[in-house]
Structure 1
């Protein structure tokens, strides 16, 4: 996951809609088959953390309902392989069966990314292949602190570029690997370290869909208190705290959420609701820069403890108020899926659609 400063992006633009690279790719994948995908992401957005032993950073989860389900009764599950050949064969099979495949690339090796990016997992969607070339969609966009901007990309890449960007996870940190396991709103099994990773569709019936909230903190005030404790402990240390990337992602997700609800048609909400949602969106908007300023100030020997405390308390209050207005709306939002036939194992594949292995000719 990259760590750019947040840049405004209206919900009505590309599928990523100003989200993190993970969620923009998941949304793009879902939206090809599910007309409610944008609503699902907005309704699902919620920040939860799971504390770790000090001084380790907490784990973050950005959604409270799993985003791995498709309307045909299948669910996305991670797979991996060390060797490039078998991994590419698996991607081709998934495209042939479903017309697309979600996989993990290295942000530092994307031909369209700004130079100088560090290694980081980055989700892409492949929708076609032909003669060693692959058609890739990347809906992520962001402005980095050094002034470089990454913009969305859709087009064909060569077999050499595909081999370079579809890497094993050896260069990724444990924190980065953990983020990938939480991408759908529940902890997913991970392939062995040293693997190239992608996601396949399996029958959802019988998959591991039980409760998965043990140890996770979801109340905004408690989340804020734990974040303050962690930042107070690590602000002055060398290196940027890992939680800044997670808070940047959370800010993007929540801005998307509140913009969606503010722009939702067919509503005549009371003024208090609009005020609460705009206040929450504003608090999330300023969070990444405020936290980075506090960290940099602490490194210079001028800790901004009160600034961190005030910012997180104001955010918790705004989030609690906004959740109150949206609570009933979330309860009334139902997303129905068809149920696949019973199966004894989620390894048994039942493709529901067959498409050509190559996407229509497009210009990179």
Structure 2
């Protein structure tokens, strides 16, 4: 008997159709803790006594939980209970910590790379991939990212080095140090994060609003916005504030500028909006939000603020558009600059300023 098969000749290799069912049943993560880095576990009988790979008697366990089961810290009964109520299906996502080299804020996307650059990619005024600098002594820089599928649906986040994949209607696959996400039968994200090496995003196929970003078979970055396409074979950016900026904040000229200016001047339901530096940024007029060019950029429902693309931005708190946490409830990270961190410290009852997303 080799280490690749048991006494019944059953090989450790699990056929792809069986692996797919086990992943779906488990919610694509460890059934106990929800971690995305997993092993295929024979519950009972264990692999040494199993005659087949039966998905009804198998599940997903991360390395840590698997070790606790082997040492009998976690009972088989607890594993069966977790199989019947997987953590990731209960939470709606799977997660893992990315052990990437954030000291030099370096990342590779296809053939392109950036180093010591805060914001890697911004689309329509929204940071999509960025590094957050340390705010306290001894704290490392932290990677943040928001990934979408080709239909514009968010599929996963990296929230300050914490990876989260939204597990509904997706296949999240991991092997060794590589993570892969397939949505609607399209592999839209593959990244490798071996040890302290540079995080490499080798596959990306997603869309935010009207902008698509793809890594093709030649590792080129293909970015399409409307009828315009930009192809980057290899880009090296170092010591910059931003690497790639695509498009403007969505805005429309809904009203005649003069009539709107008169309404604001006479204060017909108008309210000024301030930014984190307490400078004038725009107006709210009868539940609609306008920038200084008198363009419509958002609207309000009660005190909640949305973009014209109907994306939740934050809440109106006095004269500020803000959010109390550095991420939304679904785990999506919010870009926080050192100035914004200081604003939050000085205004704990207001939170982080998010007016930059609109104004």
TM class, shorter-length: under 0.3
Higher relative strand content:
2
Q: What TM-score do the two structures reach when normalised by structure 1?
A: 0.22
Q: What TM-score do the two structures reach when normalised by structure 2?
A: 0.22
Higher relative helix content:
1
